[in-house]
Amino acid sequence: MSHSPRRACPACGRDCAVTAGRIARHDPPAPRDRADLVSCPGSRARVVLGASAPTLDGFALPEFPGQLPLF
């Protein structure tokens, strides 16, 4: 199972998946007043990939070649 990277929406601040370099389509955080489907204005906004963290677990490889620590 693959997981999409997540970013905060620039319009509403909701944590959203990033697919193909864009914020995934999502509803605004406010409750719906009508039966109309309304997307958040930040849906499908472009984001810079790789800008949040260099690694998932926070472990960075040393810049010099050699043996990695065992634990």
Mean pLDDT, 10 residues at a time, over the chain (71 residues)? 75 87 84 75 81 56 66 67
Among 26, 30, 34, CA closest to 10: 26
Give the Å distances, CA to CA, from 60 to 3, 50, 57, 71.
Answer: 21, 14, 9, 14
Report the number of distinct structural domains present in the chain: 1
Flag whether 55 is in a domain: no
Flag whether 69 is in a domain: no
Flag whether 14 is in a domain: yes
What pTM does this model have?
Answer: 0.55
Flag whether 9 is in a domain: yes
- The reported pLDDT for the residue numbered 6 is 84
Flag whether 70 is in a domain: no
Flag whether 32 is in a domain: yes
Range of the domain at 26: 1-50
Flag whether 41 is in a domain: yes
